[in-house]
């Protein structure tokens, strides 16, 4: 089954404790991206990647890192989480260029930073 | 911010009625897409309309695009309780970034 898998789905952590949210897709998609969703603000793009070893900042990259060492994986790293990073995070992927195709979303990772 | 905006923010209708939601955006686009999100779940792609298209249909969905006004509308005909969800428009520019609107929350009352 074609899917985007995120882990963990739910996480409560404390300020400053590094964490990684994994994202994996089995559709051989070139394009992958991360979003955060906050009430009243919709989805905002954090980072995106056009292919292996190619990553670019989205609208809200501060406090986040990503890497794309393999085509299927695109982890989101919070080196020193802060309470304002409490949010619902989504990973998404798309075939070829994002401008020509639809995004496939994971089920989301709800992160709480205390 | 280059985010779009949906209007209305919330919409409540009776089952069988039509639901119309609108999206305005700010920049030139290659395409505009509509997504649906059930509460707390991932977004699901509904329909894509390219910048050179004016109208597109898919089942009970009808999307229009007016690039001169930088706006789009999504019409869901003969709504069902299962259509209850949030609906987002998303625009893609030449820079391969997606910009999502703030969403319309649709409630269909059985």
pLDDT of residue B3: 65
Interface contact A43-B1, CB threshold 8 A: no
pLDDT of residue A97: 63
Residue-level pLDDT, tens digit, chain A, 114 residues: 889 999 999 999 999 999 999 999 999 999 999 999 998 888 999 999 999 999 999 989 999 999 999 999 999 999 999 999 999 999 999 986 655 678 999 999 999 999
Token readout for B16 is: 């069988």
**ω into residue B8 within 30 of 0, thus cis?**
yes
Q: Is the model's pLDDT at B106 over the cut of 70? A: yes
Chain A interface test: which of B43, B63, B88 (most A C-beta within 10 Å): B43
Low-confidence winner among A59-68, A73-82, B25-34, B87-96 (lowest mean pLDDT): B87-96
Q: pLDDT tens across A33-47, in order?
A: 999 999 888 899 999
pLDDT of residue A99: 59
Token readout for A26 is: 């089995």
Q: For residues A61 and B92, which has the higher predicted lDDT (pLDDT)?
A: A61
Half-sphere exposure of B29 (CA within 13 A, CB side): 32
Half-sphere exposure of B49 (CA within 13 A, CB side): 24
Between residues 31 and 60 of chain B, which touch chain A (CB distance below 8 Å)? 31, 33, 35, 40-45, 48
Provide, for chain B, the percentages of residues in helix, strand and coil under a 3-state DSSP scheme, each rounded to the nearest 5. 5, 55, 40
Residue of B nearest to A5 (CA): B42
Interface contact A42-B103, CB threshold 8 A: yes
Among A47, A63, A44, which residue's Cα sits nearest to residue A55?
A: A47
A88 Cβ under 8 Å from any chain B Cβ: yes
Interface contact A98-B101, CB threshold 8 A: no
pLDDT of residue B28: 85
Chain A residues touching B44 at Cβ < 8 A:
105
């Amino acid at each position: 089954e074609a899917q985007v898998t995120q882990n963990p789905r739910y996480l409560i952590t404390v300020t400053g404790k590094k964490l990684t949210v994994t994202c994996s897709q089995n559709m051989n998609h070139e394009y992958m991206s991360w979003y955060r969703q906050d009430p009243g603000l919709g989805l905002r793009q954090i980072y995106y990647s056009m292919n292996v070893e190619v990553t670019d900042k989205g609208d809200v990259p501060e406090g986040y890192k990503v890497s794309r060492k393999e085509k299927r994986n695109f982890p989101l790293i919070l080196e020193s989480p802060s309470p304002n990073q409490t949010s619902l995070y989504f990973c998404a992927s798309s075939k070829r260029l994002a401008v020509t195709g639809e995004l496939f979303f994971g089920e989301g990772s709800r992160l709480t930073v205390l | 911010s280059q985010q779009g905006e949906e209007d209305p923010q919330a919409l409540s209708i009776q089952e069988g009625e039509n639901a119309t939601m609108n999206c305005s955006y700010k920049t030139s686009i290659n395409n505009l897409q509509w997504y649906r999100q059930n509460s707390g779940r991932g977004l699901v792609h509904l329909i894509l309309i390219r910048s050179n298209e004016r109208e597109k249909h898919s089942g009970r969905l009808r999307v229009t695009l007016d690039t001169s006004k930088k706006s789009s509308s999504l019409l869901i005909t003969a709504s069902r309780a299962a259509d209850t969800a949030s609906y987002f428009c998303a625009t893609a520019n030449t820079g391969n970034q997606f910009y999502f609107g703030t969403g319309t929350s649709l409630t269909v009352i059985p």
